[in-house]
Structure 1
């Protein structure tokens, strides 16, 4: 059906789906912050799990839909490309937070631990690439391992938060995770209702993600574009808009741990796209059906995560240009990777 759509209709449909994802993500930030206070899990864990999963739902649908349609490169690069751009979004949030370096003010051990887990999860598709193309029901064994590691990290993150073995030094710029006071009207709103609203917005974003996958696949074929290029720089950026919106909104609300945790948690959740895509891809191992242009973004994402984790540990108060040095490096690395992808890797 999309093959008969004129170009203007394809672009309009893509823009509409992107707008739906954008505004739904804004609403999800408010709901997640309130749920963090109601459940007592804290901003870092709630941001990493609830907000990370919710804002990633559209990207999940893109990878699954692309894999089902046989577009392995689009499915893979959408997942990994999203991790890179979302990490760059955290640097943009640092630019908007003028009191101090965001990674300094949002000191939280759970976020550092999740960044470490993310590096390990990103190493798994690299290991699949160098291992033989062995599959179980057309699914590579690494795809079974990724969700197990992810689930274990959630349990470990809760332990790290509840019984930490060390604490970050508190400074005048450190913003502690303190539950907000709610009005009587807000208090009457049941937590169950908040979760219901949360799920509704997730469903809306999932539908928008499905539409983006279909339109992106059609544009790839129609204009003979590289699937890796479209996945890493088009669908990944578009479906990552909720992370940008929610991060900036969280910083504005003073929920700094939620902002950082939402990005790192979303990135960790995005590795599950690979499992979902590999299961959906019926022509063998997804990891052996993609090329070096796709794995390029795995290396970029690992490098950016290492720099982010270093920033969370060193906690520089102010960088040379008003933002953290790690934020400057993140923006430079991502911009350089985009240039390499467009000019070098895709000719």
Structure 2
């Protein structure tokens, strides 16, 4: 097995870049397949975003967190999962700026996205409570009560999202000030491969499995090289592993969110972000199951708890933006996205001092 820590920093940086490009391309393909499946399932974008996009693009986090748990590195396992929470919301802000002509939150119509955001806040709150109160193992399994509750809550949330998306209890009176031409660029539709649209559901599932495998392998290389670079640069595995590791394993979210916006799937873009964060927190259960010692939440410290609070803060800002729907642009992005980026940068400064 390749030991990345024995490679020169230059080689690790090179492998990091190659794996990042692979993850980017695979994420774009994944979004196209998810869009086709969403169309065949009557456009259930939030459910597809939560289960398919949110789950598959979290495979790098799953691979690295479970691997870290198996070797007994609980802080790395926890911080790798929590490091992507705020990063994912910052990615939405970056995509908002790339889009550039109006706030992304003004084009979200279905209230299911508000429900997803609220579930993320609740999920993160439960996780923080487990870290502060302390966890206890269930019987002799070594798996904690709190992490088991996270798994059960995630399954409940998926059921709620599926049930709620079938109904439309209310819709906003004004969805966007943009013209239909701006919202439906023909060039994007024309680039969609016709062979994908004509493929059967079975073929689409096989292609999704193939892309998922690529993302899993490339994501593992991303996380492994970033961990090696953290040690080689001397900046500390706690901080760099969370920041660089969180960013590297969040590259699929960047490509899938950007692609979803280009395909005019605005609900899917936010559902991808919120679904990814729900799935990442749920993965603490599997990291706990792989950890050979005490329940893994007992290994968390101030660093991890602050990361959760930062995730709650940026999610709440977007919830406010989705509710207020103000068409104000700051530096080519919505004011909610601008505030999210400010909070993220400020949070990184605090995390650096808590490392």
Q: Indicate whether the TM-score tops 0.5.
A: yes
Q: How does 1:52-67 map to 2 (within 5 A)?
A: 52-67=54-69
Find out whether 1:268 has 2:270 as its counterpart: no
Matching of residue 150 in structure 1 with residue 154 in structure 2: yes
Cα distance, 1:213 vs. partner?
3.7
Aligned pairs for 1:3-82 (under 5 A) are 3-82=5-84
Tell me, yes or no, if structure 1 residue 104 matches structure 2 residue 130: no
Higher deviation after alignment, 168-177 or 9-18: 168-177
The 8 Å contact of residues 93 and 247 in structure 1, kept in 2 or not, is answered as: yes
Which of 133, 141, 145 is equivalent to 1:141? 145
Larger CA deviation: 251-260 vs 215-224: 215-224
Shifted more, 302-311 versus 249-258: the winner is 249-258
CA contact 1:121–1:146 (8 Å) conserved in 2? yes
RMSD across aligned positions (CA): 2.4
Deviation per CA, 1:16-58: give whole Å up to 9, x if none.
2222212211211111111110122422221222111111111
1:184 positional shift: 7.2
Task: Verify the 8 A CA contact 2:124 2:308 in the aligned structure 1.
Answer: yes
Structure 2: distance between partners of 1:238 and 1:111: 25
- In the TM superposition, 1:163-242 aligns within 5 A as 163-173=167-177, 186-242=196-252
1:236 Cα offset (Å): 0.7
The structure 1 segments of at least 4 consecutive aligned residues displaced by more than 6 Å after TM superposition are: 174-177, 180-184
Match of 1:161 in 2: 165
More deviation in 64-73 or 9-18?
A: 9-18
CA distance in 1 between partners of 2:315 and 2:82 (Å): 12
Please give the alpha-carbon distance, in whole angstroms, between the structure 1 residues aligned to 2:331 and 2:22.
Answer: 35
Q: Work out whether residues 28 and 256 of structure 2, in 8 Å CA contact, stay in contact via their aligned partners in 1.
A: yes
Aligned-partner Cα distance in 2 for 1:14–1:314: 40
Kindly indicate whether the alpha-carbon contact (under 8 Å) linking 1:60 and 1:209 is maintained by their aligned counterparts in 2. Answer: no
Distance 2:280 2:160 in 1: 19
Q: Which moved more, 1:216-225 or 1:107-116?
A: 216-225
Q: What CA distance in whole angstroms lies between the structure 2 residues aligned with 1:47 and 1:291?
A: 31
Query: Which structure 2 segments of 5+ residues have no match?
Result: none
Question: Any unmatched runs of 5+ in structure 1?
Answer: none
Q: Identify the match of residue 94 of structure 2 among 92, 95, 102.
A: 92
Q: CA deviation at 1:226?
A: 2.7
* C-alpha distance after superposition, 1:60-117 (max 9, x if no partner): 1111111112221111111111010010111111112234211111222111111111
Q: Are 1:63 and 1:213, in contact at CA under 8 Å, matched by a contact in 2? A: no
Is the contact made by 1:250 and 1:259 (CA closer than 8 Å) also made in structure 2?
yes
- Contact between 1:73 and 1:227, CA under 8 Å: does it hold in 2? no
Give the Cα separation in 1 of the matches to 2:222 and 2:95.
26
Report the more deviating stretch, 128-137 or 167-176.
Answer: 167-176
- How far off is 1:220 after superposition? 4.3
Deviates more, 1:161-170 or 1:281-290: 161-170
Q: Which moved more, 1:148-157 or 1:221-230?
A: 221-230
Q: Identify which of 268, 272, 277 aligns with 1:258.
A: 268
CA distance in 2, matches of 1:187, 1:222: 46
Q: Is the 8 A contact 2:95 2:257 kept in 1?
A: yes
How many angstroms does 1:204 deviate by?
Answer: 1.2
TM-score (norm 2): 0.89
TM-score w.r.t. structure 1 length?
Answer: 0.91
Whole-Å Cα distance in 2 between the matches of residues 218 and 282 of structure 1? 23
